[in-house]
Amino acid sequence: MSYKEIPRGSLTSPVGFVAGAAQVAIKNKGRFDVGVLYSPTLCSAAGVFTTNKVQAAPVLISRLAAQAGKARAIVVNSGCANACTGEQGLKDAQIMAQKAGEFLGCRKEEVFVASTGVIGVPLPMDKVVLGIRQSSDALTGTGGGKVAEAMMTTDTTVKEVAVEVELAKDQKVIVAGAAKGSGMIHPNMATMLGFITTDAAVSPECLQSILKKANQYSFNMISVDGDTSTNDMVVALASGKAGNKAIESDLSPFYAPFVEAIQYVCMTLAKMIAQDGEGATKFLEVTVEGAKTARDACLGARSVVASNLVKTAIFGEDANWGRIMCALGYSGADFDPNRVEIKIAHVKVAEKGVGVFFSEALVRRILENKNIKIWIHLNQGTEEATAWGCDLSHGYIQINSAYRS
Amino acid sequence: MSYKEIPRGSLTSPVGFVAGAAQVAIKNKGRFDVGVLYSPTLCSAAGVFTTNKVQAAPVLISRLAAQAGKARAIVVNSGCANACTGEQGLKDAQIMAQKAGEFLGCRKEEVFVASTGVIGVPLPMDKVVLGIRQSSDALTGTGGGKVAEAMMTTDTTVKEVAVEVELAKDQKVIVAGAAKGSGMIHPNMATMLGFITTDAAVSPECLQSILKKANQYSFNMISVDGDTSTNDMVVALASGKAGNKAIESDLSPFYAPFVEAIQYVCMTLAKMIAQDGEGATKFLEVTVEGAKTARDACLGARSVVASNLVKTAIFGEDANWGRIMCALGYSGADFDPNRVEIKIAHVKVAEKGVGVFFSEALVRRILENKNIKIWIHLNQGTEEATAWGCDLSHGYIQINSAYRS
C-alpha cells in the first residue's frame, strides 16, 4: 500500500484546485446547493456515465468534455436533476457551462456540468446562475468540502476522501474525491455523482481507462434500491501540478501506485454512499470468492447485496441464508449450487449448498452490529468480488413515499 | 370472448379431478398445509419452472413429470420450501411422490411435487407423509379450494379461478387454476406455485406450448419484490373428460378458444398474486404501448412495475413520473426517450419525454384509489404489454424482517 489518507482531505487537497459553493434555495434554505470546482491549469479529464437510456441534460454535456479529454471546471447543483426536461433542459445545462466559463475565465467546453435531485422539473435558472456567480466569487484553496456539501440531497453525511501517494522517492501526488448518494443507487457504468481530483500528471486516455476500471469495482458494485439513475456520472480532473513525469500507460513505473490510489478513493466513496443509503440502519458487505470468472463473482455479490429479501432480513437481524442462495441463483452467475459455502461474519451457516448447524443466538448477536459481512465461497475457481449495500428499512419507505425526490 | 367465469370455481371444477387437504402443523396450526389433487384418468401434463440456478428438490422432480407429458396427481405442502436441502431434500421430494402414488394407487412418476415456505430447512417428513395420507383419504369432487388453501404462506387470500369455454356448439370444457404468492415474486419462466386443471382433451406437447406462452404474459409479468424464487412452477393437468376431439396443434378449431381460456386463468391468478403482494396497499397495472417489439414492451412494463422507487411513490400517492421514466430507461427496452408519453389513469403527466401541466390535486385523488393504472406510450411501433405489481409499503418491511419466510 503506497498511499495514506489525508485527514479532512477534500477535492481541493490536490495542488491546483480551488472551489466554492453558494446557497440559492433550489432545495431547502440554509444549505449549499450550487458548487464550482476550478483548476486554472488545463487538466486531463475523464468520465464514466449512466447507461440509463434516459439521460439527463448535464450527462449529455459532460460526456462531451470527457470525450475531449481536457477540462478545467465542474459546476454542480442539487435539488433538481435537469432530467426529462427536453430541449429547455439541454439549453439550461449549456447555460450552466457557459456562465461558469464566463465567471471563471475559461471555455464552456472545459466545464463539466452535474445536476441531482427531482426528475422532470426545469431548473430555476435565475437561482442557478446566481449560485454559479456566487460560487465562482468564493473560490478558495480549501473550498472542496463545500462542493461536497452542495451535492447532497437525501444524503445525511458529506462523502469525501483524499490520499497522498508516493509514486517514487520524493515524488508524491494527491488523489481526492467527493460523491453523493443516497437513493436511485444501483449504478451501471457510473453512480449518481462522483468527482475525482488529482495533481498527478496523467494523460487523458490513461486517466479514462484507470477511472473506468476503478469504477467497475467500486461505484458499480454498490446498490441501495436497484434503480439505475438518469444522472449518474463520475468525472476526474488531473492538474499535473505535482510535476511527476506524466503517466501515459501501464508501462509507467508510477502506474500501479496511482491506480491503487484512484481505486482506494473510488471504493471509499462507494462504501460511503452504501453506508448512507436512504433509510439505512446497517452497512452490508458481500464478498463472493472462488468464482470461475470475475464477472460471475461480480454478478453474484451484486445480486445478493441488491435483494430486497436479503436486505429486509438484515434489517430484521435474521440469519435467513436461504434468501442469499436464492439471490445468487437468479444473479446470472455460473456456479454449482451444491458447492456453495456461506458465512455471516465468521460463522458458517451453509456448506455444499445446504444449511449446517450454527448458533442462532450467536448469529443474531453478530447481526445486531451496524456493519454486516456476508462471505460466499463458490468453490469453482479463484476469482472474487465484493459489493456494498445497506438494509431495507421503514426509513427507506418513509423517505421515498413522502418526498418527491 | 368465448369463456365465462364459474362462480366459486376451483381446481376440481373441470370433470375428472378430486382433491383433499390436511392440517399437520408444518406451519401454523389450524390451517391446511398439505394438499393432494388427483385424476383417476391419466392426464396430459405440462409445466414451466423457475430459471433460478438454485432449484428446490420438488422442482427437479416435477420437471421430470412435465417432460414425460403424462401425470395424474399433484402433491403440495406449504411452510417449508425443501430448497437448499441437498440429497436429503431430493429423497424427501421422491418420498412425497412415492407415498402419494401409494395412497392414490398410481405410479410415483405420475405425481407432481410442489413445496413452498422457508428455504434451507429439511421437510418434517413424518408430518408430510401423514398429511399426504389424510389428504388422499379426504378426496372429494369439490376439494379444489382446500388445495388452494394448503398452498398459502404469507398470502392473505385464496387465489383460484375457473372458466367454462365453448369450443364449439355443444362442446364445452372447463379450465381452472390456483396459485399462491406473495413474496419472492419476480417470476422468470414460472411463478411460485400455479396449478391448472382442465377436462379438455389436449396433447401434452400442445398443452406445454400453450402453457409456456400463457405464462409469458401472465405470471412472468408480475413482480412483488424482484426476487425470483427457487421453487417457482406452474403445472397443468388435462383429463380429457370433456370428450372433445383432442387439441393437438394450432390447426385445431378448438385451439383459439382454449388458449384464450388458459390465458385468462393464468392472467387472473397472476393479478391475484400481485394484488396480494406482501404488505401491498395498492394494485399497480402498467401498460406499455407503441413499442417496436413485444420484448421491448414487456421489458419496459416489467421494469416500471418492479422499481422500488415507483412502488414507494405509489404507496405515498405521489405522481412522481420521473421515476417511471428512469425505470423505463434502465429496463433494456429500445426506445427514444423524447417520444414517451405517460398517463396516470386518464391524466397525461408527460409528453415527448417531458412533463406537462397537470392538476396535482386531481392526480393525488386518483392515487388515493386502491387500483392504480399507469399507461405509457413509446410512440415507436405497435407492440404492447401489461405488467402487474403492488406498492412497497411498511407492511413489506414488517413481514420480511420479522418472519423467516
Question: ipTM for the complex?
Answer: 0.83
Name every chain A residue with its beta carbon within 8 A of the beta carbon of B188. Answer: 330
d(CA A102, CA A119): 27
A68 interfacial to chain B (CB closer than 8 Å): no
pLDDT number for residue A187: 63
List B residues 203-222 in contact with A (Cβ-Cβ < 8 A). Answer: none
The answer to whether the CB atoms of A83 and B325 lie below 8 A apart is yes
Name every chain B residue with its beta carbon within 8 A of the beta carbon of A300. Answer: none
Name every chain A residue with its beta carbon within 8 A of the beta carbon of B316. Answer: 400-402
Burial class of residue A356 in the structure, from the number of CB atoms within 10 Å of its CB (0-12 exposed, 13-18 middle, 19+ buried): middle
pLDDT number for residue B189: 44
A188 interfacial to chain B (CB closer than 8 Å): yes
Q: Which residue would you say has higher pLDDT here, A194 or A103?
A: A103
A141 interfacial to chain B (CB closer than 8 Å): no
Residue with cell 439513475: A229
pLDDT number for residue B73: 96
Contact A248, A206 (CB under 8 A): yes
Q: How many CB atoms are located within 10 Å of the residue B10 CB?
A: 25
CA A169 to chain B, closest CA, distance in angstroms equals: 46
How would you write the pLDDT of chain B (405 residues) with one tens digit per residue?
Answer: 578 999 999 999 999 999 999 999 997 778 999 999 999 999 999 999 988 888 899 999 999 999 999 999 999 999 999 998 999 999 999 999 999 999 999 999 999 999 998 888 899 999 999 999 999 999 999 999 999 999 988 888 899 999 999 998 889 999 999 988 877 777 654 456 889 999 999 999 999 999 999 988 888 888 877 777 788 888 899 999 999 999 999 999 999 999 999 999 998 988 998 888 888 999 999 999 999 999 999 999 999 999 988 999 999 999 999 899 989 998 999 999 999 999 999 999 999 999 999 999 999 999 999 999 999 999 999 999 999 999 999 988 888 887 565
Per-residue burial over B260-299, b = 16 or more CB atoms within 10 Å of its CB, e = otherwise: bbbbbbbbbbbbbbbbbbbbbbbbbbbbbbbbbeeebbbb
pLDDT number for residue A190: 44
Cis preceding linkage at B78, omega within 30:
no
Of B273, B210, B216, B219, which Cα lies nearest the Cα of B238?
A: B210
The answer to whether the CB atoms of A353 and B394 lie below 8 A apart is no
Name every chain B residue with its beta carbon within 8 A of the beta carbon of A229. Answer: 326
> Sheet containing A371-377: which strands, arranged edge to edge?
A222-223, A383-390, A283-291, A371-377, A341-344, A347-351, A354-355
List A residues 289-318 in contact with B (Cβ-Cβ < 8 A). Answer: 306-309, 312-313, 315-316, 318
Of A53, A315, A396, nearest to B337 by CB-CB distance is A53
pLDDT number for residue B188: 57
Contact A85, A120 (CB under 8 A): yes
How many CA within 13 A on the CB side of residue B312? Answer: 26
CA B117 to chain A, closest CA, distance in angstroms equals: 11
Contact A339, A326 (CB under 8 A): no
Question: Over the Cα atoms of chain A, what is R_g?
Answer: 21
| Mean predicted lDDT score pLDDT of chain A | 91
pLDDT number for residue A400: 82
pLDDT number for residue B190: 45
Q: How many CB atoms are located within 10 Å of the residue A293 CB?
A: 15
B55 interfacial to chain A (CB closer than 8 Å): yes
pLDDT number for residue A189: 44
B394 interfacial to chain A (CB closer than 8 Å): yes
Taking CA atoms, A69 is separated from A61, A109, A233, A248, in Å, by 13, 11, 15, 13
Of B119, B326, B355, nearest to A227 by CB-CB distance is B326
Name every chain B residue with its beta carbon within 8 A of the beta carbon of A326. Answer: 52, 54, 83, 119, 184, 227-230
Average pLDDT over residues A257-280: 90
A123 interfacial to chain B (CB closer than 8 Å): no
Name every chain A residue with its beta carbon within 8 A of the beta carbon of B307. Answer: 226-227
The answer to whether the CB atoms of A227 and B307 lie below 8 A apart is yes
CA B315 to chain A, closest CA, distance in angstroms equals: 6
B59 interfacial to chain A (CB closer than 8 Å): no
C-alpha cell at A12: 481541493
d(CA A301, CA A286): 6
Chain CA centroid to CA B106, Å: 27
A356 interfacial to chain B (CB closer than 8 Å): no
d(CA B137, CA B293): 51
d(CA A319, CA A326): 14
Which residues are CB-neighbours of A17 under 8 A, at least 6 positions away? A11, A37, A38, A39, A141, A144, A197, A199, A237, A239
Contact A168, A238 (CB under 8 A): no
d(CA A151, CA A233): 12
The answer to whether the CB atoms of B312 and A396 lie below 8 A apart is yes
A and B: number of Cβ contacts within 8 A? 210
- For helices B308-315 and B321-329, angle between their N-to-C axes, nearest 10 degrees: 160
pLDDT number for residue A188: 57
Strands B3-5 and B159-168: antiparallel
CA B262 to chain A, closest CA, distance in angstroms equals: 27
Contact A325, A350 (CB under 8 A): yes
pLDDT number for residue A227: 76
A209-213, A257-261, A396-400, B196-200, range with the lowest pLDDT: A396-400
B257 interfacial to chain A (CB closer than 8 Å): no
B392 interfacial to chain A (CB closer than 8 Å): yes
Whether A405 has a pLDDT exceeding 70, the answer reads no
Residues in a beta bridge with A79: A117
Whether A311 has a pLDDT exceeding 90, the answer reads yes
DSSP state of B202: B
Residue B52 has φ and ψ, to the nearest 5°, of -60, 135
Among B49, B84, B296, most A C-beta atoms within 10 A, so best to mutate, is B84
